[in-house]
Structure 1
Amino acid sequence: MNTFPFFKIRAYLKRGGVIAYPTESSYGLGCLANNRRGIRGILRIKKRPQHKGLIVIGGDFGQLQPYVFRLPEHEQNQIERAWHDDVPTTFLLRCRANVLPELRGRRRNQLAVRVPQHDLARRLCGAVGGALVSTSCNRAGKRACRSEREVRRQFGRAVWVVGGRTGGRKSPSQIVNWETRERVR
């Protein structure tokens, strides 16, 4: 992990760059969650419709708080405990009005957030100093890339690849609507 030039990655992300990095089940495509140019780059690269919204990850809950409404302490503690369980879980939380519509999805008032169980993804958020978009590294409708080689084959130089091993999970994180406790994926 120390061999990555994080100061260069951070500068690249601030300019709207898109990275590919390993997560629990596959590689993810990411950019700074508050960077409209990066988000639009991901949507263009993936050929993904804007109305769907994207997942945002942070190294800890604090990196996600600028995007979501404050929760009572006991609820925040429940979410943080769930992020340490065996099953990676993304929660839909009410988001702040200033969250970019391309990030939350058009006409949506919730944002999908997670602290990943994958150590490299979590540390990457800490190293770049902010929350990252985390969407599967694939073109819309295609299988997610599970290796650095697959990422390079599918996206070439369109993304900066942060190499590493995925967590080996077969499926992506489950998504739970926090208000209703309903599992939506």
Structure 2
Amino acid sequence: MSNLNLLLKGLKKGKIVAYPTESVFGIGCDPDNLQAIQKLLWLKQRPISKGLILVASSYQQLLPYIDETQLTQAQLKKIHATWPGPITWTMPSSSLVSNLLSGQFNSIAVRVSNHPTVKKICCKFGKPLISTSANLTGQKPCIKSVDIKKQFGKKIFTILDEETGNQDKPSKIFDAKTFMQLR
């Protein structure tokens, strides 16, 4: 079984997986599996209040998680002009989104990736996945698979050991309504 097939099998079973993104390795899980999300938050030692990012291969994959009726056509046009790419937007969340994903906010952070591995995972998985930097809260994000093994040991189901992109910092985050940069 290829590593990609093993990763996809793990996602479907609620496992935590690691994969390269545009800048660093990400860890993630199925955004519709609440037990997997709780496990991810525990593993990363991340407060629920912060919320998480969803990464997708297309905008259509994000539609069940956002409420685009709260955005103007001009706002949507500006967002779409930055994708695919390393820009994350906080958009109004749909009523289906758990606070495990949105944290203390009424929005959800989303990105359409241009990283070939992320695109391939999301296409084959058929939906977005949670993407948070592969590191314990407060530690440096992992840029190599060996770093993930050092920080997390065997707590990650599988690591897709491929190259990260050429971005030197995690994605910038902007508010979809105000266009203010949040990170």
Same fold at TM > 0.5: yes
> Within 2, Cα distance between the matches of 1:168 and 1:84?
15
Residue in 2 aligned with 1:81? 81
> Counterpart amino acid of 2:80?
E
RMSD of aligned alpha carbons: 1.8
Moved over 2 A (4+): 2-6, 8-11, 70-78
Structure 2 regions of 5+ residues with no counterpart?
none
> Within 2, Cα distance between the matches of 1:138 and 1:168?
19
CA displacement, residues 118-170 of structure 1 (integer Å, 9 cap, x when unaligned): 11112111111111000000000000000011111211211111110111321
Q: TM-score, normalised by structure 2?
A: 0.91
Residue in 2 aligned with 1:121? 118
Residue in 1 aligned with 2:103? 105
> Counterpart amino acid of 2:126?
G
> Within 1, Cα distance between the matches of 2:13 and 2:35?
8
Residue in 1 aligned with 2:36? 38
Task: Please show how residues 21-170 of structure 1 align to structure 2 within 5 Å.
Answer: 21-71=19-69, 75-84=75-84, 88-106=86-104, 108-159=105-156, 160-170=158-168
Q: Tell me if the contact between 1:14 and 1:35 (Cα under 8 Å) persists in the aligned partners.
A: no
Count of residues paired in the alignment = 180
CA displacement, residues 31-89 of structure 1 (integer Å, 9 cap, x when unaligned): 0111111111110111111100000011100111000013556643432221246xx21
SS of alignment partner, residue 66 of structure 1 = helix
SS of alignment partner, residue 10 of structure 1 = helix
